[in-house]
Amino acid sequence: MPETFKAILISRGEDKKQSVAVTELTDAELMDGDVTVAVEWTTVNYKDGLAITGKAPVIRRFPLVPGVDFAGTVISSSNPDWEEGDKVILNGWGVGETHFGAYAGRARVKGDWLVPLPDNMTARQAMAIGTAGYTAMLSVMALERHGITPNRGPVVVTGAAGGVGSVAIALLSRLGYHVIASTGRPAESAYLTDLGAAEIIDRGELSGPAKPLAKERWAGGIDAVGSHTLANVLSMTSYGGAVAACGLAQGMDLPSSVAPFILRGVSLLGIDSVMAPKELRLEAWWRLADELDHGKLAALTTTIGFDGIVGAATDIIDGKIRGRVVVGI
């Protein structure tokens, strides 16, 4: 009998309702690719929560193994860039959406989708960072490219207690920024302060309809929420500032006006982690290994086992997850 490994499989019936099951797969049932990886660690991101709960049409083919990122060891490769024993990370590229993903003992993918695990980072640490933390780093890099340095003024982070927000706060504070954290969970104030937030504001200040322009409060922002929250962040961004948009927890809409852009020269920077080019990925992971405080990373991380994935997916959609969840496969 061929060797099997545990996997989560999402299927959809003729009635268009999806179902989630834990099953056993073999290598022969994996999708096409030139590298096979033994998945050692993964994580539960907001997108994974949407996929498993069916709250949004993240999954575009059925049946599918969800899970948008993983870290592990190459066990076979026909790609010249990788050989057996290499430690690798994968984020995005449609994995967990159109291609079998991380919630299985093995994954077969294209070698071009992989990046090397940094020498000073473990596979577990890589997934404690995960797509959320990698997206936070891409957002920081975008603000830097736009000239938003610490001496320009404060930077606001929305959805602060979530995965992107938690890592963004830790990164920005380490780099010397004055970080304003916006959260709807006042009980997490001490947690956010420990990560490096200098100020904490209630998300209610940003979640209602925005004025075309409001009082200037920050030089830049990292927004994982979208909708009215992003509109308010833009309206309160100072002249020449910039906001990196990387999430949609409140919604995909943007009920704003052109006023911040044409009257204050504010820039809206779109952050895509799924199809980001390899050079950006390599820079982001190199900087995460070098610049993210490992003590803070440990403080914002909870570890669960494979059997906890489905429950964590529901919790993250319900706003019950703080920081990052890492999964030992």
304 domain residue, yes or no? yes
Strand 4-12 and strand 87-91: the pairing is unpaired
Residues 68, 178, single domain; the answer is no
> Which of 301, 305, 270, 320 has the alpha carbon at shortest distance from 53?
320
Contacts of 239 (CB under 8 A, 6+ apart): 216, 264, 265, 266
Tokens, residue 167: 């890592």
In a domain, 126, yes or no: no
Strands (E), 167-322: 179-183, 199-202, 218-223, 237-245, 267-270, 301-305
For 60, the domain range is 4-117+296-328
Q: Which of the residue ranges 29-33, 86-90, 321-325 would you say has the lowest mean pLDDT?
A: 321-325
Longest Cα–Cα distance of the chain, Å, equals: 68
Averaged pLDDT for residues 214-218: 98
The CA–CA distances, whole Å, from 162 to 21, 110, 129, 168, 309 equal 27, 30, 12, 10, 17
Please state, in angstroms and rounded to a whole number, the distance separating the CA atoms of residues 169 and 198: 10
Position 281 in a domain: no
> Does residue 249 sit in the same domain as residue 142?
yes
The label of the residue with tokens 């997850």 reads 321
Cα 203 from Cα 210, distance rounded (Å): 13
Q: Give the pTM.
A: 0.93
Q: What is the DSSP code string of 176-198? A: T--EEEEES-GGGHHHHHHHT-S
Residue 103 has pLDDT above 70, yes or no: yes
pLDDT above 90 (res 62): yes
Whether 85 has a pLDDT exceeding 70, the answer reads yes
Mean pLDDT value across residues 214-238: 98
User: Are both 12 and 109 inside the same structural domain?
Assistant: yes
Would you place residue 13 in the very low, low, confident or very high pLDDT band (cuts 50, 70, 90)? Answer: confident
Question: Does residue 164 contact residue 246 with C-beta atoms inside 8 Å?
Answer: yes
> Is the pLDDT higher at 65 or at 14?
65
Whether residues 138 and 110 fall in one domain: no
Question: Looking at the domain assignment, is residue 275 inside a domain?
Answer: no
**pLDDT at residue 1 greater than cutoff 70:** no
Do 263 and 162 fall into the same domain?
yes
Q: What is the pLDDT of residue 170?
A: 96
User: What's the CATH number where 146 sits?
Assistant: 3.40.50.720
Q: Say whether both 324 and 248 belong to one domain.
A: no
| 188 located within any domain | yes
pLDDT at 234 (0 to 100) = 98
Distance between CA 74 and CA 59 in Å, rounded?
A: 26
Backbone angles phi, psi at 242, to 5 degrees: -150, 150
On whether the CB atoms of residues 267 and 288 are closer than 8 A, the answer is no
CA of 236: how far to CAs of 169, 191, 198, 261, in Å? 19, 25, 18, 12
Question: Whole-angstrom Cα distance, residue 127 to residue 270?
Answer: 23
Q: How many structural domains comprise the chain?
A: 2
Q: How many CB atoms lie within 10 A of CB 120?
A: 9
- Give the CA count within 13 Å in the CB-facing half-sphere of 44: 33
